[in-house]
Amino acid sequence: MGNTKYNARWVLDTAELVVAVGTIVKIRALHFIGTGDESDCILHDGNGKEIWKAKLGDVSVNGYQASISFGDEGNAVDGLDLDTIDNGILYVYLGKL
């Protein structure tokens, strides 16, 4: 499918993708939809610091999904690096800086 950028969200499905290097991005929420119990998703900022990870067998699974909300304030990070994604899609919901 390939990665797609929308107005208020990015749809990422390709591992080792680096997005917006050197640009501050505000993340309001992340929503990962995998295809099975063992699907993994690991997201780092552009400096290699882990932002979030999920292994669907390790979290409360609702139809092979996992989410996190950073609230209205969001989480400002320096770029994104989708280090790992197993057979799924990561929705990155963005906020204004």
User: Model confidence over 46-64: pLDDT tens digits?
Assistant: 889 999 999 887 655 566 8
- Residue 65's domain comprises 4-95
- Other C-beta atoms lying within 10 Å of the C-beta of residue 66: 23
* pLDDT for 2 beyond 80: no
Find the mean pLDDT for residues 5-31.
Answer: 83
CATH code: domain of residue 32 = 2.60.120
pTM of the model: 0.84
Among candidate residues 61, 26, 20, 21, the one with its CA nearest the CA of residue 41: 61
User: Model confidence over 68-87: pLDDT tens digits?
Assistant: 999 888 999 998 999 999 88
Is the distance from CB of 42 to CB of 32 less than 8 angstroms?
A: no
State the Cα–Cα distance between residues 64 and 79, nearest whole angstrom: 27
The three-class DSSP label of residue 38 is coil
Which pLDDT band holds residue 7 (cuts at 50, 70, 90)? low
Query: Number of structural domains, the chain?
Result: 1
> Which tokens go with 89?
């899609």
